Amino acid sequence: GLRVVTTPVPTAQSVCVNVFVGVGSRAEQPRTNGISHYLEHLMFKGTERRPTAIAIAEAIEGAGGILNAFTTQEMTCYWNQVPFDKLSLAMDVLADMMRHSLIDQEELNRERSVVQQEIRRAYDQPAAWAGHLLSEACFGDEPLGWPVAGTIETVEAMQRDDFAGHIGTWYVPQNMVQSEAGNTTQEEELAAARTLFDGLEGAAPPGVAETRNGIPARNVVVEARDVSQSNIAFALRAVSRTDPDRYALMLMNAVLGRGMSSRLFREVRERRGLAYSIGSSVTRYNDTGVLGISAGVSPEHVAETTTVVKAELRKLVDELVGAEELTKARDYTIGSFRLGLETSMALAQRAGEQLLMLGAIEPIEDVVARLEAVTADDVQRVARRIIRSDNVSMSLVGPGADGEQLRELLAA
């Protein structure tokens, strides 16, 4: 049934309540790409007891709280944060949305345009669109290569029956987690959850197809735009949520492109002045992952920047990271990990995501201990595992985009 996890923070003045559902864009079909995100919007549009979006918003905002949601490739999360003495209200509103949303036809039609405007907004932001194209370059026509929000065309085609089927398939207790953090107790949360979600039933959801190994043949995707800057992004298939190498990859990523003292920032910005900002990041999915690098540069600097990125990646393969640099990367990674858990919202969302995706929550100090145990040899081994010429994808949005030229540059 529904799983419940609580992270007590007795000194907090608030409590953050989240409901996670284990469905995102990678579980969709081509015709309904974007339905998880579209439904996330519709769940705020009214229930039997709170028949309008305003009624739902006023319930939480009237207590001084905030409410929102997000959708990713693998999950949808609805959350609100309220003063701790309004916990019962927060839980009631979320349970009401999960169980009694109207999915009114008029609201569905109105929100269709809103979602399409959100897609257009992303298209009009070259850096964001380069990120979308990078997923396409890295995963091709697989669901992980599709946009989370769908396309103008798929959103236009969705009907009320599609949403009813989506809810019936995925919004079932075995596929949901309720996670709270703040000034509350596990006993309080369990009692409320039993009452609010009593009688919620449904069959176990279907599995999601695993991602195929290997990047697609069309591993460079470009889009010409009449803008002054070229937004470039690189991706290497990396490790999954549970891969033992994830800790070494975290340190490798810190060395490569996290922060102003990272190798990419120093070489691309400080030494060569090619970009205002450049950085790297790691995204992990259930069965794969991505090491991503992104930057915005003048069109005439695309080739040089690409060459520098390739050289910095090759250096991680060929040379051990020095002891001092590894210590700095470790301290940075552990410190930013701890700082990222400073709020009740961060604690609730970490616990909820891990329980939903992994079935367990990794203790914070276990993560720290595993990061402490990573050696320079581990970092180089992981670099050699993922930094390969047959494992690099690239996207570019900007003037004079030439996919063949970039493909040759990557292969050189």
Beta strands 3-8 and 176-182, pairing class? parallel
What Cα–Cα distance (Å) separates residue 241 from each residue in 71, 120, 187, 389?
Answer: 18, 31, 30, 24
**156 included as an active-site residue:** no
Q: Which one is catalytic: 40, 136, 312, 353?
A: 40
CA atoms within 13 A on the CB side of 27: 24
CB 241 within 8 A of CB 288: no
Beta-carbon contacts of residue 100 (< 8 Å; ≥ 6 apart): 47, 48, 49
Sheet holding 14-21, edge to edge: 3-8, 176-182, 14-21, 76-83, 66-71
Q: What is the DSSP letter of 177?
A: E
Distance CA 319, CA 314 (A): 8
Distance CA 44, CA 180 (A): 20
Sole residue written with tokens 């599609």: 162
Q: Just list the catalytic residues.
A: 40
